[in-house]
């Protein structure tokens, strides 16, 4: 089979105007960004915000493994398959961050015959949205230090500034830094941290805002620190929100591209799911839902991460819950969680070990890890379809063991999907199952059921997620976290949604705890208030909001030839 890069380079792309027209969007309603990418104009967005909305399908996954489970591949392949069987469909996915692109993942535009194109542009800079978020975020950082230098009218306590700086790169050396060295001319000496752009509150605001007015209001509501009197100081108090919104003016507009089979696809926003809320933008969803009968979107990492946050943060903000959940799973991931490669994570098996038949391990992994993911999602009163992303080495016995376990756990349907090798054709069984599940769900009218009331106290929300989704026995707040939550509550933010920042590799805070761990104590190290985005981040265990590069970064294998063509890692 050709490489991803070879497949992408061999494709003949349709003009972006023709792709837009498939959704009823005219050439006057797009802003072309080259030949094959466009942004949707603000006027076009405004005119569609109150149109009837289609059905929403959420693609999620079991806990990810080092082997890759193909969730984005499944999302794109399902979209292609829905279009192949005559449905009006499109997808909405997140934009790649250059940190993971140059780190481990090496690209996030799908793969095989289920890609979004132009793949190289999407993975590298794209339309500059993440750069705009970086600039808007760091503009506020610069304005804060400038405000302190020139009088500090807000009486901001320079030792209690909570607003960091960001960069769209994995760079562990920036986790803790000192700024303002060199005397008063260079600002006020203080300790600072960098987060990766995907973890920025500005990114969260971009994807949760309903319109430009809401965007600006949310930016103004960012709490940047506390005053000498102990009160919260907001970005609006230093008049930062207007210029920040201006930098985000075009970034707020959804990006339109196409799949390998010429189907429309939106890519917009890029928060990570392990350290942020892990979903694409509400405004892109609304646009897509106004233009297509079925919209496929994905939530980052496993269902305990991005999908849980979709249910409790995104759906609570947008008012749109999923009509169906697709649970992506692989035989190899179930082998890992079933103990085939040891009892803890981190071990990378050889190709032969990975592909060796092990029905017992598959059955064990499915009866533990997959079972919990299915039951957790079904608890929201939405149908759950298990999609087995098939690899060539998967045996019939392994697939049967996984399928039997998924049915026993309450899956609405179980399908074998081969969209990586066959494109939309390999996802037709999944597409038909999705259409039926969506139609049945709409007809039944089952109410969406989150784990808690929207205005419940933060700790009640955390304990519900910890004990009911993760199966922890209790939650432990470290001393710093306890003081932070007391302060946040005293400021009037004690009932906001909570965004759990933890490892994606386990239901627990420990990446090495495979399968379905239970009866553990969940430690919360730190709370961060994202008042503009409208949630509180709870940081669990040793989770970092600035990743580091691996021993051999993907960047090492990237290059271009003398004609400027990409070579290396995407293939």
Residue 570 confidence (pLDDT): 56
**What does the DSSP 8-state code read for residue 125?**
T
Average pLDDT for the chain:
94
User: 123 is written with which tokens?
Assistant: 């993975």
Q: 172-186, 341-355, 404-418: which has the minimum mean pLDDT? A: 341-355
Percent share of the chain, pLDDT over 70: 98
Query: Rounded to whole angstroms, how far apart are CA atoms 503 and 524?
Result: 13
pLDDT at 309: 98
Helix axes 201-208, 129-149, angle to 10 degrees: 130
Specify the pLDDT at position 188. 83
* pLDDT attached to residue 569: 61
Q: What pLDDT, on a 0 to 100 scale, did the predictor assign at position 105?
A: 64
Spatial separation of the C-alpha atoms in residues 60 and 113, rounded to whole Å? 20
Residue 157 scores a pLDDT above 90: yes
pLDDT tens for residues 199-250? 999 999 999 999 999 999 999 999 999 999 999 999 999 999 999 999 999 9
pLDDT of res. 345: 62
CA count, 13 A, side-chain hemisphere, 399: 15
Q: Look at residue 102 in the predicted model and tell me its pLDDT.
A: 87
Cα→Cα distances 571→351, 486, 564, Å: 18, 50, 16
Give exposure, 459-489, as e/b (b: 16+ Cβ within 10 Å).
bebbbbbbbebbbbeebebeeebeebbebbb
CA distance 271 to 154: 31
With bands split at pLDDT 50, 70 and 90, how would you rate the model's confidence at 505?
very high
Q: Would you say residue 568 has pLDDT above 80?
A: no
Q: What is the pLDDT of residue 38?
A: 98
**Does residue 349 register a pLDDT over 90?**
no
- The predicted pLDDT at position 103 comes to 85
What the chain holds in terms of domains, given with CATH numbers, is: 4-127+251-443 (3.40.50.300), 129-235 (3.30.1510.10), 458-540 (3.10.410.10)
Kindly report, residue by residue over 358-390, the tens digit of the pLDDT. 999 999 999 999 999 999 999 999 999 999 999
Q: What is the mean pLDDT of residues 550-565?
A: 87
pLDDT of residue 346 exceeding 70: no
Q: For the whole prediction, is pTM greater than 0.85? A: yes
- The tokens for 136 are 């808007």
Predicted confidence band at 57 (pLDDT cuts at 50, 70, 90)?
Answer: very high
Q: With pLDDT > 90 as the criterion, what percentage of the chain qualifies? A: 84
Cα–Cα distance, 95 to 102 (Å, whole number): 14
Q: Quick one: pLDDT band at residue 350, thresholds 50, 70, 90?
A: confident
> In which band, very low, low, confident or very high, does the pLDDT at 174 lie, cut at 50, 70 and 90?
very high
- The pair of three-digit structure tokens given for residue 67, joined into one six-digit string: 């082997």
Summarize pLDDT for 447-480 with one digit per residue, the tens: 999 999 999 999 999 999 999 999 999 999 999 9
pLDDT value at 343 more than 80: no
How far is residue 173 from each of residues 90, 97, 178, 183, 193, measured CA to CA in Å? 40, 18, 11, 23, 10
pLDDT of residue 106: 66
pLDDT digits (tens, 9 = 90+) for 274-320: 989 999 999 999 999 999 999 999 999 999 999 999 999 999 999 99
Spatial distance between the Cα atoms of 293 and 503, rounded to a whole number of angstroms: 35
215-220 long-range Cβ contacts below 8 angstroms, 24+ apart:
215/245, 215/248, 215/252, 216/241, 216/242, 216/245, 217/241, 218/532, 218/533, 218/534, 219/136, 219/244, 219/245, 219/532, 220/532
Mean pLDDT of 354-360: 95
């Amino acid at each position: 089979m050709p490489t991803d890069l070879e497949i992408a380079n061999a494709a003949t792309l349709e003009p972006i105007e023709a792709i837009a027209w498939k959704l009823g969007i005219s050439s006057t309603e797009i802003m072309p960004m080259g030949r094959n990418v466009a942004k949707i104009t603000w006027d076009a967005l405004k005119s569609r915000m109150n149109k009837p909305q289609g059905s929403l399908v959420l693609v999620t996954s079991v806990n990810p493994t080092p082997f890759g489970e193909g969730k984005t591949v499944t999302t794109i392949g399902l979209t292609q398959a829905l279009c192949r069987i005559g449905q009006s469909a499109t997808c909405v996915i997140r934009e790649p961050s250059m940190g993971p692109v140059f780190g481990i993942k090496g690209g996030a535009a799908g793969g095989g015959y289920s890609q979004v194109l132009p793949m190289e542009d999407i993975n590298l800079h794209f339309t500059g949205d993440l750069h705009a978020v970086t600039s808007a975020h760091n503009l506020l950082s610069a304005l804060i230090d400038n405000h302190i230098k020139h009088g500090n009218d807000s009486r901001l306590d320079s030792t209690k500034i909570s607003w960091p700086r960001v960069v769209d790169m994995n760079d562990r050396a920036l986790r803790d830094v000192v700024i303002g060295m060199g005397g008063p001319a260079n600002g006020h000496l203080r300790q600072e941290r960098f987060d990766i752009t995907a973890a920025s509150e500005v990114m969260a605001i971009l994807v949760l805002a309903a319109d430009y007015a809401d965007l600006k209001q949310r930016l103004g509501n960012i709490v940047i620190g506390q005053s000498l009197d102990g009160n919260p100081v907001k970005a609006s108090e230093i008049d930062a929100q207007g210029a920040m919104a201006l930098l985000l003016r075009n970034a707020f507009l959804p990006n339109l591209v196409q799949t390998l089979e010429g189907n429309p696809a939106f890519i917009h926003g890029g928060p990570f799911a392990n350290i942020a809320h892990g979903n694409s933008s509400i405004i892109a969803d609304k646009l897509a839902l106004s233009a297509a009968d079925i919209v496929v979107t994905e939530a980052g990492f496993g269902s305990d991460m991005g999908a849980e946050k979709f249910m409790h943060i995104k759906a609570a903000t947008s008012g749109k819950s999923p009509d169906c959940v697709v649970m992506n799973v692989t035989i190899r991931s179930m082998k890992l969680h079933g103990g085939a490669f040891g009892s803890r994570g981190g071990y990378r098996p050889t190709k032969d070990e990975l592909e060796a038949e092990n029905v017992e391990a598959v059955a064990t992994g499915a009866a533990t890890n997959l079972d919990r993911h299915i039951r957790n999602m079904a608890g929201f009163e939405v149908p759950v379809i298990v999609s087995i992303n098939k690899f060539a080495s998967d045996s019939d016995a392994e697939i049967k063991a996984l399928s039997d376990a998924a049915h026993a756990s309450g899956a609405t349907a179980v399908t074998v999907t081969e969209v990586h090798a066959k494109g939309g054709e390999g996802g037709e069984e999944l597409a038909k199952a999705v259409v039926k599940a969506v139609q049945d769900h709409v007809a039944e009218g089952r109410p969406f059921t989150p784990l808690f009331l929207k205005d419940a106290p933060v700790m009640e929300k955390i304990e519900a997620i910890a004990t009911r989704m993760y199966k922890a026995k209790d939650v432990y707040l470290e001393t710093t976290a306890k003081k932070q939550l007391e302060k946040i509550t005293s400021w009037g933010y004690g009932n906001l949604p909570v965004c759990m920042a933890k490892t994606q590799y386990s239901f627990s805070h420990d990446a090495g705890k495979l399968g379905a761990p239970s009866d553990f104590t969940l430690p919360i190290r730190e709370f961060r208030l994202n008042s503009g985005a409208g949630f509180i981040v709870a940081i669990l265990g040793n989770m970092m909001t600035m990743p580091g590069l691996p021993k051999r970064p993907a960047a090492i294998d990237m290059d271009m030839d003398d004609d400027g063509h990409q070579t290396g890692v995407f293939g």
